[in-house]
Structure 1
Amino acid sequence: MIAHGQHATPATAADVPRRNWAGNVRYAARAFHRPTSTDELRRLVAGSTRIRAVGSGHSFNRIGDTDGDLVTLAGLPPVVEVDHERAQVTVSGAMRYGDLARHLHTQGYALANLASLPHISVAGAVATATHGSGQTHGNLATAVAGLEMVTAAGDLLRVDRESDAFAGMVVGLGALGLVTRVTLDVVPTFELRQYVSLDLDREALDEALGSAYSVSVFTDWRTPRLREVWRKQVADQPPPSADWLGTTAAAAPRHPVLGMPPENCTPQLGEPGPWHERLPHFKLGFTPSSGDELQSEYHLPRTAVADALAALDEVAHLIAPVLLVCELRTVAADELWLSPNHRRDSFVVHFTWIDDTAAVLPVVAAVEARLAPFAPRPHWGKVFVTDPAELADRYPRHADFAALLPRLDPTGKFRTDLLDRYFPR
């Protein structure tokens, strides 16, 4: 155990983010820190009464906020250790997926899936069950084979798939400790081609979602038809026909958000390339999405596609005026306690809203009301207003996670207002 009362040197404003990525949350921390060693981090955690880690800041709510100490782990020594025998890689929790992917590719390896943005940190994405797309692929947390974290007492804890409650610790919402290292399963590297097709009929959506390695469908709720289908298919598969499912092939690169430059997006038009340059929608060195935005996302049963869209049609007149783009995709079921995909193959409805919280929140409430019959599970890091009792009912292991919290954090050192709302003490 590390002795109490010793703190890392507070960071300057340039070292630790003071706002989240979207700018809609200003962190309330009393002090900001950037430790440069694990021992320094352990002393900081042991001596703090309230503390949270900030990764890439890509949460759109206050799940990562604290009135205590906010710490970035980006100053810890970077780690990328490939275990060829086990087909795994151990990486720093603060590492961005885009940086990890490039390193893995040079060694002949890949991750089975990536999120739309390669800019996000490994530990933060895993903690909130962030995901890519593909009905046979789990979210990013399903690749986790091991975790190393600093616990509330300042101890260093290592767990793996054989550990008690591991399935409850992976999607941990930052509430169980500060994750310093993550071990991930890897696969042999592979190439993909990305095709964009325009104007899909809703009747063909189910077939489209299962038509390639990873599929995203974009719409704006201004017309019944679906505006674009982004298909990321294995490079040696035949290209889609020019009128695939009644669509028209895009003649030039596209951006999901109308008016944004397509140069920010990964290569399209069927040009082959490595997995990490096709699975994300956006390039690592460019501004992802629109930048000035809010996001909400709901995971529904995979079988609810048609009924869920019909329910949302009832509030399309509310959605469209505050929407930048809506993305529809799929994620495979898993066993992780707080994963929105827990034991349920999922149809995912993602909303990228304009940057106007007052205008967006009433629409979020209307969307949730229409989706309620399908027991939607919101993404933990995005904007939602779900009633705590309803959310608890939607997670069979909610009570188990609530019991795990005081075991690893008896004084509530890692808690936030949002965690207290959805996991009351």
Structure 2
Amino acid sequence: MSTTKTALKRPEVLAPAGTLEKLKTAIHYGADAVYIGGNAYGLRSRAGNFTYEQMAEGVAYAREHDAKVYVAANMVTHEGNQEGAGEFFRNLRDVGISAVIVSDPALIEICITEAPGLPVHLSTQASATNWETLEFWKEEGLERVVLAREVSMAEVAMIRAHSDIEIEAFVHGAMCISYSGRCVLSNHMSMRDANRGGCSQSCRWKYDLFDMPFGTEAHQSLVDKGQVTEPYSMSAVDMSMIQHIPDLIENGVNSFKIEGRMKSIHYVSTVTNVYKAAVDSYMADPENWVCKQEWIDELWKVAQRELSDGFYYHTPTDEDQLFGPRRKIPQYTFIGEVLAYDAATKMATVRQRNHFSVGDEIEFYGPGFQHFHQSVTVMYNEDGESIDRAPNPMMLLTMPVAQPVHVGDMIRKKKEEPKK
């Protein structure tokens, strides 16, 4: 069962923001909300987690652009981990955070009782897969549930038919080989607790197989038998639901969640830009909506792995996992961002992010899905000297541009073909 066309509501585009820079980038490129990590209780200890001062700056920026900021506090607590949680949640509330994303019942209870007024969203780590579960959490006072990635589209429809709590669902990004992130491989392999912020992504490692006959030396199966050209992994491909926007909206998903707090501003800007364009296009004309090839092509420019629709339409098979050589690779490298533009001289000031040279073909892109390509004909360093290449990270340079650009526009170039 799906919602009727007359009842359709525009879903929130929710982007990851591992740092303050990424927060501002995501909102600049169309995110209605972002989710960040604080200095405690999150699952991304290596992300650029926010201080309260940075949160305040991020909230102020978000409010200026009619956006929201959520904080992920979705770790699984052990005895003693809850100490200080009440103060943490009160600080989030007082800073102006719009909601906190939590999975542990103890933290949920602490937040509700000790920081009243701070909305709580149930994290995907809690593995909510049916409407009875959503109703339970609604009765506990939660406003939104982030569905487990293992939920099918038919189950989304069933959940919406029986519950009116807000639904948040992942639409793009990395998938976990374990059930909604409930993994202890990292604990075993590297003594880093995946459910308390220390995941070492053991499933992404490469593994060999060995023949282990009793009393004889082990032999590598892959090498000896010539079965594959590369070690096995347990790694899943990434999710992309760009072609299924109508199903998600018509089945009542309120928030489209993009994974990737560890990803670059290139990734955040590109993926947010695409889903914002797709959602806007659908809401403007639902009956005639089509998924544009340019949206799909754009997502491949920042893809780290192959893409699939995850669990939404079928149980994943070996085609949804990474075995052997990659079948498709990213095509573009992020090389810079626009800091200023002089319309009189048609010159742009650029901060370099990766090496590029005179003669390179580059692409500018910005919010609203504005794109154009050009050649680098000349560029100048901060002293006004003509240079042939920009090799130093974060160096400032100026260059003529073929079309007007804006502050915050990004620059990428096509990857060079590997030498044979």
Q: What's the TM-score, normalizing by structure 1?
A: 0.24
Q: Which has the larger radius of gyration?
A: 2
Q: What's the TM-score, normalizing by structure 2?
A: 0.25
Query: Which has the larger share of helix?
Result: 2
